[in-house]
Structure 1
Amino acid sequence: MEYQFDLSPSDDDIKVIRDGLIRHNTPHLEGIRKQSLALYAIDEREQKQGGIYAEVWGNWLLIKFLWVDEAVRGQQVGSQLMERLEQQAIKLGCRQSLVDTLSFQARPFYEKLGYQCQMTLEDYPQSSSLHFLTKTLSA
C-alpha cells in the first residue's frame, strides 16, 4: 500500500473520505433523525439582518452558525433567534442543545441564555480558546 500526503485536497477527494465514513457509521446510527433548519431575521426591506443555522440530530439541537448584522446588534436579534430556534427544537423533540464558540466570539451571550461551558480547548487554533456549551431545553 502506498501513502500520499495532499496539502490541498479537492472537494472530490474530501467527499471520498466523508462518504466512506458515512457508510461505516450508518449501520450504527440508523433511525436517528437528522434534520437541518434555519431561521432568519428579516427587516422591512426584506433583507436578512441575521440568521441561525442548526441541525437536529436525535434529541440534540446542534447550533452551527449564528450571525447578526452589525447594524442591528444590541437590539435582541440574536436572543430572539435563539429563543425561537430553541422553541422549534423542543417541538421537534430536542432535549439538549450544543454550541461552540471561540473566545473572541459569543461565550457571554450564550451563557446569558442559560448555556453552560462543558469544555474549553486552549490555544485553539493558536491564541484563542474554543468553548463547547450545552443547555437543557424545556418547554
Structure 2
Amino acid sequence: MNIEVIHSEDKAVFDALVTGVRQHRYDNMGDEETIPLSVVARGEAGELIGGVSGRTIYNNFLIEVVWVEKSARGTGLGRRLMLRAEEEAKKRGCLAAQLDTLSFQAPMFYRKLGFESVGVVPGFPGSPERYFMLKKY
C-alpha cells in the first residue's frame, strides 16, 4: 500500500471516490436515482435573481445552495423559492429536507421556514459556526 497526498484537483480520483461511495450506498440502501431539483427566479431581462438547487434521493431533499440577489433580499422571494422547491420535493415523495448554513448566512431564515438545527460545528478563529438543519414533512 502507498498513501499519497495530492495537492491539485484530480477529477479522476474524485470520480473514483464518488463511484465507491455510490456503490456502498447501493449495497446498503438499494437502487435509487438522484434527481436534480432547482427552482429559480429571473428578472425582466431574464437574469437570474435567485434560486434553490439540490437533489432528491431516498425520500430526502438535499438542498445544496440557496441564493437571492442582494437587491431582492427581504422581499419574500427566498421564502417563495424555498416553498416551491419543497412542494416539488414532496411530489417526489420526500419526507424531509436537509441543508447546512453558516452563522452569517441564514440560520434564522431557515428556522422561520420550519427547519431545526440537528447539529452545530462551533466556530473557531477564521471559521464561523456551521449549522446542519432538517425539516420533516
TM-score normalised by length of structure 1: 0.89
Misfit runs of 4+, over 4 Å: none
CA distance in 2, matches of 1:110, 1:42: 22
Describe the superposition over 1:8-65 as per-residue Cα deviations: whole angstroms up to 9, x where unpaired.
2422222222223323332223233421111111122221101110111111111110
Q: Which residue of 2 aligns with 1:118?
A: 118
57-66 vs 9-18, which deviates more?
9-18
**1:117 CA displacement:** 0.7
Moved more, 4-13 or 94-103: 4-13
The alignment yields a C-alpha RMSD, in angstroms, of: 1.7
SS in 2 for 1:114: coil
Q: How big is each residue's C-alpha offset from its partner over 1:71-99, in whole Å with a ceiling of 9 and x where there is no partner?
A: 21111110000010111111111111111
8 A contact 1:103–1:131 mirrored in 2: yes
| Contact kept in structure 2, 1:124 and 1:130, CA below 8 Å | no
| 1:96 partner amino acid | A
The gaps in structure 2 that reach 5 residues or longer are none
TM-score, with normalisation over the residues of structure 2?
0.90
Task: Note the residue ranges of structure 1 that are not aligned, 5 or more in a row.
Answer: none
How far the C-alpha of 1:125 sits from its partner, in A, is 8.4
**Does residue 61 of structure 2 align to residue 57 of structure 1?**
no
CA change 1:94–1:118 in 2 (3 A) is same
Q: How many residues align?
A: 137
Mapped to 2, the partners of 1:26 and 1:71 lie a distance apart of: 43
Residue 85 of structure 2 corresponds to 85
Partner SS, residue 61 of structure 1? strand
